[in-house]
Amino acid sequence: MFIPQTYSLAVILCIVTMLCWGSWGNTQKLAGKSWRFELYYWDYVIGIVLFSLLLGFTLGSFGANGRSFLPDISQAESGNMFKAILGGVIFNASNILLVAAMAIAGMAVAFPVGVGIALALGVIINYAFAPKGNPVILFLGVALITAAIIIDAIAYKKHSVSMQKVSRKGILLSVSAGALMALFYRFVASSMVTDFVNPEAGRLTPYSAVFFFAIGVLVSNLAFNYIIMRKPFEGVPLAFKDYAKGSFGIHLTGVLGGIIWNIGMSMSILASGKAGYAISYGLGQGATLIAALWGVFIWREFRGASKQVNTLILLMFLAYLMGLALLVYAGT
């Protein structure tokens, strides 16, 4: 299987993760013009599963290092498979909340608040279980990113004409999503081998871990998304007949969103062998910065903002950039 051999390549893969995790939300924004997020999410999950299979039978099956995809699955212990699946279940619960927050509050708010919280807590959790990198520099970077989250929330509050129920709901969903999202990566990481090149028996390699993670997302979605369809955060309840009304282009947009997200997940897991789980996860969750850029400059979610709000947005971007730079430096 393909395995990154240097820290520099691992950082590049983390940047790919950051770009993918920060950009997949655009597909929801595109589909959301005529398509409820609950319906979009079925296709999104299909995209995650399809890419996990595609990657397993390509990069996960070629090369002399490690174990190939199918042999790795056949030798895995049930406990490790369960950990990766549980990671998918936790992620799915958090991501449904995040997609709902995007639909209500926009990308420029949902990502910095939700994913930013996930980054800060996730780095702490993953470092506690698998310490790698300079802790002082690492946590200084996390502190700067946390400051960026707070600045973004202040900017959003000031930009709102009044904090109506919808605004509060969007932030509450973002915070809930972030708290859950901080946990999922640790479960996937705990199911994996410690040495990708010479994997120990019973544990999962990156490609099989991503596959079982995707299975967890798929299975849990049958329950989670159905509940949200029947008891939506906003709007009238939905039925499966509403999903059948979508055009090919609408469904393809959702599948593309899932593929983009899982490219990011896969690159993050692969990078963790050289970068460590805390740095790999933290850099990938720099997606917040990418999503905020999309929200501010493409979707114009802060259109008409005052000079004070624009200054806060600039400070948010600067704090995020400095925090991400410190995360990279912590691993050198």
- Tell me phi and psi for residue 192, to 5 degrees: -100, 160
DSSP state at residue 60: T
User: In which element (H, E) is residue 42 found?
Assistant: helix 37-57
Distance CA 194, CA 209 (A): 13
Domain boundaries, the chain: 7-330
Distance CA 262, CA 211 (A): 10
- What the block records as the tokens of 274 is 């050289």
Q: What does the mean pLDDT of the chain come to?
A: 89
Is the pLDDT score of 270 beyond 60? yes
Distance CA 261, CA 46 (A): 12
Burial class of 61 by CB neighbour count within 10 A (0 to 12, 13 to 18, 19+): middle
7 in Cβ contact with 332 (< 8 Å): yes
Choose among 231, 122, 103, 223: nearest CA to 173.
Answer: 103
- In Å, what is the CA distance from 176 to each residue of 150, 169, 210? 15, 11, 24
pTM score of the predicted model: 0.87
Choose among 272, 35, 237: nearest CA to 130.
Answer: 272
Beta-bridge mates of residue 290: none
Is the pLDDT score of 196 beyond 60? yes
Contacts of 26 (CB under 8 A, 6+ apart): 107, 294, 298
Q: What is the pLDDT of residues 113-125, one digit of tens each?
A: 887 788 888 888 9
Q: What is the pLDDT of residues 137-187, one digit of tens each?
A: 999 998 998 888 788 777 877 776 544 444 578 888 889 999 999 999 999
Q: What is the pLDDT of residues 200-241, one digit of tens each?
A: 999 999 999 999 999 999 999 999 999 999 999 888 999 999
Q: What's the pLDDT at 51?
A: 98
